[in-house]
């Protein structure tokens, strides 16, 4: 399948090769590089020599700009192809805190305008959790995956003929 990366589509964000998009079964899938530690706003205390505040904040601002553009591009693509749904994958849970508020608001705005099923998949706290109608949006579901484990995972399915579009089932890796 064809995969589009952000630098190929938006050269001004040439450093963000981890932001990719592909389409399958009438759904637009996109990865967006939203990370933990308050989206990298927390000090880099474990570096030799301590935090590099100016560098950290510059990285945050550049990545945030790229991420917001990529979220918009995913929904623009979904609209232009009349996609049945959008699945966004990020690392960190987009809480309503300083580091994530802008990304969360953009996802909520875009999902509301899109009006079709949107599945927001993330890790971070590493517990399986489902939150339908995320942030009050009837068509937006937050799905937190298992993490730091090799024994559990989620099987996500897409059925473009189903009103829900997305389904998932926790899975266990057989032992022995």
Are residues 89 and 32 in contact, defined by beta-carbon separation less than 8 angstroms? yes
pLDDT of residue 125: 76
Number of domains in the chain: 1
Burial of 74 (0-12, 13-18, 19+ CB in 10 A): buried
Q: pTM for the whole thing?
A: 0.94
What averages of pLDDT result for each successive group of 10 residues across the chain (176 residues)? 96 97 98 93 88 94 98 98 98 92 98 98 88 98 84 93 97 82
Residue 35 DSSP one-character state? -
C-alpha distance from residue 86 to each of 14, 31, 99, 121 (Å): 24, 11, 23, 11
Query: Residue 76: enclosing H or E segment and its boundaries?
Result: helix 53-80
Are residues 165 and 84 in contact, defined by beta-carbon separation less than 8 angstroms? yes
pLDDT of residue 149: 66
Helix, strand or coil, per DSSP, at residue 78: helix
pLDDT of residue 124: 78
Could you tell me the residue range of the domain that residue 109 belongs to? 4-172
pLDDT of residue 16: 97
Are residues 43 and 51 in contact, defined by beta-carbon separation less than 8 angstroms? yes
The residues facing 104 across adjacent strands are none
- Estimate to the nearest angstrom the gap between the alpha carbon of 16 and the chain centroid: 14
pLDDT of residue 152: 87
pLDDT of residue 150: 67
């Amino acid at each position: 399948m064809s995969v589009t990366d952000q630098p190929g589509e938006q050269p001004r964000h040439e450093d963000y090769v981890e932001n990719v998009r592909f389409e399958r079964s009438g759904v637009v899938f996109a990865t967006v590089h939203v990370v933990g530690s308050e989206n990298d706003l927390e000090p880099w205390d474990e570096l030799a020599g301590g935090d590099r505040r100016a560098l950290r904040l510059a990285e945050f601002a550049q990545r945030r700009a790229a991420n917001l553009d990529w979220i918009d591009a995913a929904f623009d693509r979904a609209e232009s192809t009349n996609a049945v749904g959008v699945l966004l994958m990020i690392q960190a849970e987009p809480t309503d805190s300083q580091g994530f508020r802008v990304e969360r608001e953009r996802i909520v705005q875009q999902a509301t305008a899109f009006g079709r099923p949107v599945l927001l998949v993330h890790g971070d706290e590493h517990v399986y959790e489902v939150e339908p109608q995320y942030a009050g949006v009837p068509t937006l579901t937050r799905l937190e995956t298992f993490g730091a484990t090799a024994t559990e995972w989620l099987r996500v399915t897409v059925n473009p003929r189903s009103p829900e579009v997305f389904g998932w089932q926790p899975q266990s890796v057989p032992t022995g």
